[in-house]
Amino acid sequence: MTMNPLDPSQIQLTEDGRLKHFLTTEGLSKEILTEILDTADSFIGTQARSVKTVPLLRGKTVVNLFFENSTRTRSTFELAAKRLSANILNLDIARSATSKGETLMDTLWNLESMYSDMFVVRHADSGAAHFIAQHVTPNVAVINAGDGRHAHPTQAMLDMLTIRREKGSFENLTVAIVGDILHSRVARSQIYALNTLGAKEVRVIGPNTLLPQEIESLGAKAYNNMNQGLKGVDVIIMLRLQKERMQNALLPSEAEFYRLYGLSTDKLALANPDAIVMHPGPINRGVEIESAVADGPQSVILKQVSNGIPMRMAVMAMAMGGQQSGQNKEEV
């Protein structure tokens, strides 16, 4: 069942415009997204220290609510919370009460009764994080770690951080997102963020069967021909084939997909000479991207992974600050 996401502008921010929850990049202003990037930038320096922790969330409890598996995202959120000095609770959903018939709301109320301060939510249903944010008590912050086909805002923002650190700004950039756009929550979050941050042009490249019908209304120009779509591009973001979310045979074969839409050395040469190559991971080598490209000098894929921790530290710290601001206003 798909849950209808609420208007993001009504639920993500406090009355004074601070980040309260982080559910989607849609609807957030350029100022807020830039503040997230700047905050993440400030945390990057802490990663090289012998003592990597800062005390911003000391005494707070962060609950990882992963209803859908993701080792990489869950581990980076856990590391980010630990580096903010928070207490971590990883809820094993497969063994939790929700698998025994308890409702989602009962589980949330029980966790709230344990004085939790933040829920990091990953769920197969679109809008699940919004639903939870709507129903939690006012002192709990909710971070969306990926919901259905809807949004994956922290992944999009770590990608934005990587682009800004490599390219300096967004204003003159042409960015191509390639592959399975239809099933990708990352792509939607990237498109919203890129347009808000002022990218010159956002392109999506893929077969019609893997492109949403409304893609141009989201602010992207669609290409079916990869050779045409890569001309003059500054940033190439390759996406993983979301095979687990495909309900029908939308591709003739992986080999055919690679022939037409896989990023090879020859196709990369069509982009600008200083173009960077990105992939949110995990990579299917020989399906979405050639190993020589993934491991080549234009690839910043490992930098994306490194930027994941400071970015998640940033949104967790900012959301908790927004919650505390709301609490203080209530107390006054």
Q: Which helix (H) or strand (E) holds 170?
A: none
Three-state SS for 223? strand
Beta strands at 174-178 and 118-123: parallel, antiparallel or unpaired: unpaired
Cβ neighbours for 328, distance < 8 A, ≥ 6 positions apart: none
DSSP state of 107: H
CA gyration radius, the chain: 20
- The predicted model scores a pTM of 0.91
User: Do residues 62 and 117 make contact, with C-beta atoms less than 8 angstroms apart?
Assistant: yes
For the chain, which domains are there? 8-151+306-327 (3.40.50.1370), 153-301 (3.40.50.1370)
pLDDT tens profile 106-130? 888 888 888 899 999 999 888 989 9
- For a pLDDT cut of 70, what percent of the chain falls above it? 88
pLDDT greater at residue 125 or residue 155: 155
Cα–Cα distance, 72 to 66 (Å, whole number): 12
Express each pLDDT in 17-36 by its tens digit: 999 999 999 999 999 999 99
* Each residue's pLDDT tens digit, 225-258: 999 999 999 999 999 887 665 556 567 778 888 9
- What is the Cα–Cα distance from 103 to 173, expressed in whole angstroms? 46
In this predicted structure, which of 4-13, 103-112, 260-269, 283-292 has the lowest mean pLDDT? 4-13
Average pLDDT rounded to a whole number, residues 206-217 = 91
99: pLDDT confidence band, cut at 50, 70 and 90?
low
